[in-house]
Structure 1
Amino acid sequence: MDLTSFKEQLGLVWREEKLLRVALTHPSYAYEHAGVEHNQRLEFLGDAVLSLIVSDYLYRTFPHKSEGELTRLRAALVCESSLARVAEDLGIGEVLLLGRGEEKSGGRTRPSLLADAFESLLGAIYLDQGLETAADFALARLKPLLEDVLEGRMERDYKTELQELLQKGSPERIVYEVLQEEGPDHAKRFLVGVYYRGRCLGQGAGRSKKEAEQHAAREAWRRLAGEEG
């Protein structure tokens, strides 16, 4: 799919098309092309916009669910695996601008990269079209996943489950700390530890910080909950 086809698929008339190009520019490409803006700032914005959109939708749709239940639903809908599925359906990986190393290492199909790119795209839509259009765009693609979430067919969000387990008795903050980072930019590996009350409860590794944090939370949750496997 080329960029023209991708734009047509989105069904939006862009006021500032540069925002779309920035949203589709991975940092690895910008590092190889001086003066090119990458999408990390838009990712930051899109993450916040997405959280608001999904929170508002769940609050209005499920008036009888508790705060904890709504939190779990939101976490499952906006987790890396869900957003990567949406990005893949949109074909975002096909039109991303990637650096040579990221291209060679399979970045176009990497879940963490696709999830981040979807958030960047949503941030661009919000800036260009406003919150209502951004909400319509995001929810049209996330609502089909909601049934899977409600039926428990989506990947578990161990960070949220660990937080709920630990903070039943105390509101103290859970801290995720990068213990080790190795490899070139296009093939990073992160080792993360999860700490509570100064004690390390688990460690996890992954190709992104988010993935490593989930693995660390899973290890900690299984230890604390006594779950096997």
Structure 2
Amino acid sequence: MPDVTGTAEPAGGRELTRRRVIDAAADLLAREGREAVTTRAVAAAAGVQPPAIYRHFVDMDGLLEAVAEHGYATFLASKQVGPVVEDPIEDLCAGWDLAVEFGLTNPALYTLMYGEPRRGTTSAAFQAGMRILLGRIRRLAAGGWLRVDERLAAQIIHATARGAVLTWLSLPDDQRDQALLTTMRESMVAAVTTEEPAVQDAGPAGAARALRATLPEQTTLSEAERRLLSEWLDRLAAAR
């Protein structure tokens, strides 16, 4: 039953009420924008008295954080049901497109999730999504396709998707051009991947052979360090 009295809820109903409040706030956000998410409006939509909201959330910012977490979880679920793409660069592009599509389909929710620099970065769902992205990047690295280190690649991919969506949403309808999204994606791919794989054979042996071939050209390591690394690479390159 809706909590219309403001009295304490049974233990079994507490999580259901909290979920109902989050769903009501998310629905208001999607239909009417952030300004519509007020204590009174959320309470009415959820079928509770306004004081009941503050038994679940410290304040309205706390409720909005929970709505953002709901958004990260929804986005994560969409990532997990996507088809497996064999080509690692196509897989990267598919993931980027999915992130952008989510933002364009859920503009108010996406703005809440990503419009503030550090919102949601400690969210479990956000971190799980980042692990999926890092898995894509690791595939690129293992195949010799990665132009930059993995951490920087993740930052570039995340920043270009976020920037593309927020820029698109900031534009008047008559100024929105699909070429913006296409160009941003192509720029992202060019920034993080090479045109040809540096490693022709997948796996440690191929990577070791590629690194061994360029080892004499670098000057970062001392002569003793180069000899030791060369020995390790020889062993890895010979492994089957």
TM-score with structure 2 setting the length: 0.29
Of the two, which has the highest radius of gyration? 2
Of structures 1 and 2, the one with the larger relative CO (CA 8 A, separation 6+) is 1
Greater share of strand: 1
